[in-house]
Amino acid sequence: MKNEEIIFAAISIIAGLVVLSTLAWVFLKYPTEQALGQRFVKDEFIFHTPFYMFHFKPITILVISIFVFGVCGLESLRNHLLKLPLVIKRVIFIFFFTAIFVFGYETLHMFLMWTATITVTGEITSLDEIISKPNPLLPYSVNFTFITKWYSLLLFLSLYGLYFMHQIMKASLNYKK
């Protein structure tokens, strides 16, 4: 394993530990919730700096940490993925492109639902209070802030995965010439 792979693997592990500790903190503090994801938007972590005070909800910390975990995890596997047959790389590329389509639609759908809900009710004081039952077949309601950030995370992980696999395929083809 090269030094670069070790660095990316270490960053990925640290981000994974942040994810696990945030999940543990949220589930211990709020063991129940009325709507899926509501426990992830109830509180804010505040980080004071000399220049600015940063506010992060647990879902925001999770989304950022999961993204770093996924991206650095892929980067740590670069040399292993370069060795895969081209057909497998193309299948992974198509998988990421399909994921972009699905999660791009879902992200856009959630933002449109936010807008429609705010327009219709006109009484929402905070976006974190918007709860909906987007699918009548689901047994529970969903917090819009939670689900929108979740779909956005999956969209951007898929975008990075597509970019990454494009680089892998390009490097493989250049290497064979």
What 3-state DSSP class applies to 31?
coil
Among 1-5, 62-66, 74-78, 80-84, the minimum mean pLDDT is found in 1-5
Domain residues for 94? 3-176
What 3-state DSSP class applies to 92?
helix
pLDDT per residue as tens digits for the range 73-114: 999 999 999 999 989 999 999 999 999 999 999 989 888 877
- Rounded CA-CA distance 139/150 in Å is 19
Tokens of 128: 């974190």
DSSP label at residue 37: T
Domains held by the chain: number: 1
- Rounded CA-CA distance 65/107 in Å is 19
Q: Which residue has the higher pLDDT, 146 or 13?
A: 13
